Amino acid sequence: MKKKLVKFVKDRRKMLGLTQEELAEKAGVGLRFIRDLEQGKETLRMDKVNQVLALFGHELLPVETKKLSDE
């Protein structure tokens, strides 16, 4: 199963050479939140996720779901 959001955050964070702790601080969220996010938890608060994505110049928006088969 997929997790585009998870992959996006992990990739971007490593791209910037940040630890989860540093990302948490920069984003203004708790370390636990970053962990949960990167672990694929889905019951996260939208605004908190957006706080993190904002660091990467991104935000959560409705995108067409094209789920033909997998990947």
The answer to whether 70 contacts a copy of itself (rule: CB under 8 A) is no
Q: Tell me how far apart the alpha carbons of residues 4 and 9 are, in angstroms, rounded to a whole number.
A: 9
Which of these segments, 17-25, 28-36, 52-60, binds a copy of itself (CB under 8 A)? 52-60
Q: Which of 63, 68, 69, 71 binds a copy of itself (CB under 8 A)?
A: 63
Report how far apart, in Å, the C-alpha atoms of 31 and of each of 7, 28, 68 are.
Answer: 18, 9, 35
- According to DSSP, residue 6 is labeled H
**List of residues contacting a copy of itself (CB under 8 A):** 4-5, 8-9, 42-47, 49-50, 53-54, 56-65
